[in-house]
A and B are shown apart, each in its own frame.
Chain A
C-alpha cells in the first residue's frame, strides 16, 4: 500500500525512496542478503548519476571496512535488511507498481527524508581542538550551531585536483573529474591532486574537523571537484570543468584561478553558469592593488580578495576599478586569506596566504546559506553575502570594496528570520585581536555523547540568558 506522500513525490519528481516490508516468508526464505536483494532488485532504480556515484562510493567504503565484496557495487540498487524484513531503495512509478504486485511484498511506504528535517534550535556539538581564525572572522559558528553545516549541498571546485585520501576530506568528495589534454573526462579517475593548491582550497570549503581543529567552513558539504590544472591545454580543461559541475548539481562554484589582467573570453561561460543558477565565487588574484585576474574581475561573479587577521588588506590582494556601470570594483568582498591552515596531499597540513585561500571561505559560506534556504537563487545567495559585509575601519573602498561577509547577517538577509537565540549566542569573539584565541568553538558532529550534548546545550542557554539582545543578528533589514 502506498501513501499519498509517496504518490505526491512520485508525481513531483518521478521517483522516491521507499521502504518495502517483505512478507516474513519471503525474508526468511532468502539464503543470503544478496539473494534477497536479487529477488526484487529489478523493481528499483538509481535515479541519478550523482546518486550512483554516491552509492558506489559508500558501498566501496563499506566493502573495504567490512564486507570485502569483489562484485560491482555500483549496481546495488536495493539494500535488504533480512532481520528486519525490510528493503530500502529508490523506485519509480513502474517499479512501485511492480513492488505492490510482487507476492513477496507486504507493503511499500515512503522512506523518511531525514535530510529535509530543518534544524530550528541549537545543535549538539563536539569540541574541536580549535576553530580557524577565518571561520571565526566570518562568524560562521552560529550557523553551525543552528545545524547549517553544508549538509546536502554540492560545491563545484575547479583546481589542481584534490587528495581524496586525506583524513580531513573523508566523506567530502561527492564526485571527482579529471580532464585529459583534449578536455575529455578521464574515466574512473581517482581523486588526486596534481599539486597541493586544490587540496588546500577544498579543505577550506568542506574540510572535516580533526587533529588540526576545524578549518572547513561547510564541514558537511560535498565537493564536485575537477582537476583542471595539470599543465597543458588548461583552458579546455577549465571550460570542461565548468560544464561538468553544472551536471553534478553544484549550485556554487569555487575557483581560485584566472588569467592576469582582463579578457572577456570567459564571459559567455560565466553567463551560462549564472543562467544555470550557479554562483561563481572566484579569486581576484595575488598581484596587488590596481591588478586583477579574469574571470574574477567580471561584474557578474562574486569576486574575492584577501584579508589578514588584523583586519587589513594584505599587499598582495588584487583590486581594480573598471569603467562599467555595474559593480565597477573588484573584488566584491574580502575574506580571510593570510595564514590559512588547511590540508595538503599526504595527510599533512600547511598554512598559505592568497586570494585563493580567501575564495573558498566565501564559497563555504554560500553553501551554509544554501542549506538554510535551498530554494534560494544564486543571485539571492550573492545579495545576502554582499549585504552582510562590513568594511573594517582603515580599509579603503578601493581595496576592500564592501568588506567582510558576516554569516549571521547573511542568514538573516537571505531567510528573513533570525537564527535561534541559543545558536546565535554561541559566538566567537570577532575583534581582530581576539580572533584566533578562542579555541573552543563547537562544530556539529553526529554521534557525540548525550551527556556532552546536554551540557553544551545548557551552557549555550545559560550564555544566551546572560547576554543582552546582541548586536549580532539583530538587524532585520532586508536587502532589496
Chain B
C-alpha cells in the first residue's frame, strides 16, 4: 500500500511539473493562478506545522514539541540555516523528554 502511494504521489508531482513546461505560458502566468498556487503552499505548510506540533492521534496535545517549535522559530528569525533549525528542534524536544524522565 505504501509503495502504491509513493509511486502515485511521485507520478502526480512529476505530471504537475511537466504540465508547467507544456501548457501555454500565459494561462499559468495569470495573476489568479500565481496567487493561489503561492498561497496554497503557505496554507498547507502552516497546517502541517501545527498538526505536526500540537496534535497526536486525532487529539490536540501540548508537549515538548511546542517548546521545540518555539526555539526553531527564534532560530529562523535569527536567520539560522535550515539544518541548524531542524537539529535544534530535535535537541530541545529530546532534552525536555530526557529531563521529564
| A and B associate in one complex | no
Chain B positions near chain A (C-beta within 8 angstroms):
none
Chain A positions near chain B (C-beta within 8 angstroms):
none
